[in-house]
Amino acid sequence: MGRELNRLSATAAARKLAAREITAVGLVSECLERIAEREPTVHAWAHIDVDSALKRARALDAGSASALLHGLPIGVKDLLDTCDMPTSYGSRIYEDHRPVGDASSVAPARAAGAIVIGKTVTTEFATFHPGPTCNPRNPLHTPGGSSSGSGAAVADWMVPLAFGSQTAGSIIRPAAFCGVVGYKPTYGTINRVGAKMISDTLDTLGVLARTVADAGLFVAALSTRRELAIDETIADGPPRIGFCRTYEWNRAHADTMAAFEETGRRLSGVGASVRDVSLPEALAGLAEAQTSIMVSEVAKCLSYEWLVHREDLSSEMITMIEAGLAVTPESYDAAQSLARTGRRLLPQVFSDCDVLIAPSAIGEAPMGIQATGDPLFNRIWTLLRTPCVHVPCALGSRGLPLGVTVVGPIQADRVTLMAANWVQAKIGLADN
């Protein structure tokens, strides 16, 4: 397929675009060719606008190349409003919805020179009822959710960057299942206006990419934090790593356990300081607390859809809302109290390490696309609001990707990205 520009990392493509070694038209064209070839199998896209993408690329090629994302094709998760494309939030209730403006995350992406190829598939309201997307590594398996289309599009070389969002595990899990990098920044780093809210406490915007540096570049452009655009070359020494199996460790599959332990040995072998770290016993109930908060807030945020369009909700959504309505105020308050306690105790957890490494998923991507897998290992970090970066580093017994989550202290996103970049450079899968 030509020079295969679509396989360039975002940072590499940005350098070549800035130096005029390649054109935005050439890059977008090869991404569109890849989409045309693979979309009938992968089903990553809810909407594609070929003409607008090429028009935008031609305009960018005619101007200067100073913007951070100049000429880079991106996918926008269909949870985020776009002024020129439909936004359905993964629900048939909104299948004809046409927002009048861009989300406050999409607008700066365009201003930074990004080219929106289209809207990537999300699960229903970014929860658990899946769309048609298949895992590009093996179409018989789920790509994860809710950022299913974004994870699949990046993994299948359709675009180098795509938006994700996470309320439980919707960035890290599809990144893990599809074998790409997923970056959930510290809560609030990327503004959420124009994203369909399902949980004010938990909803966090982030990105999916092929390299850690790519992810940092994207989030730097979406926020005011230019320090996140890290140099992909390894400048710092090896990080001090705390190996955190979490209180959910006994739920991990054998492949995950083996890959996780091997990751620790490999990191020690390349110079990292690795020590076991346990979360305080007081935090053993964080996963359950996250679930209670999530379902309760989903029920509140989707009150219009529940009261007016219940017949158009999936059975999974109805079950979730019913569970949320059953959460008592006392239970909700207790869950929020535990979350605040957890955040207060985080400095103690990180006292002797720069970052933690934790499991990203229970196991490889499950067979079938009728469900998106369990976000168990992601729930606590979403609730604690820490920056998280998934790094693919192994293959399971079915040949599907496995990896680890690099977790940093709240607002220590650059430190987290630098450590994750080091991990990816040392032990990451070769094709990412």
Residues with catalytic annotation? 77, 146, 170
Residue type, 390: H
**And the tokens for 105?**
């995350």
Please name the helix (run of DSSP H) or strand (run of DSSP E) that holds residue 275, with its range, or none. Answer: strand 273-276
Which residues, 6 or more positions from 19, have their beta carbon under 8 angstroms from its beta carbon? Answer: none
CA distances to 69, 233, 295, 311, 403 from 180, rounded to whole Å, are 19, 19, 28, 36, 9
CA distances to 17, 34, 35, 89, 347 from 6, rounded to whole Å, are 13, 8, 10, 27, 41
Cα dihedral: 421, 4, 164, 122 (round 10): -150
Torsion sign across C-alpha atoms 172, 177, 178, 181: positive
Q: Catalogue the E-assigned strands of 24-155.
A: 45-48, 73-77, 115-120
How far does CA 297 lie from the centroid of its chain? 21
Pair 339, 291: CB distance under 8 Å: no
Strand partners, 356: 242, 407
Q: Would you call 308 exposed, middle or buried from its count of C-beta atoms within 10 A (0-12, 13-18, 19+)?
A: exposed
Nearest-angstrom CA–CA distance, 309 and 135: 31
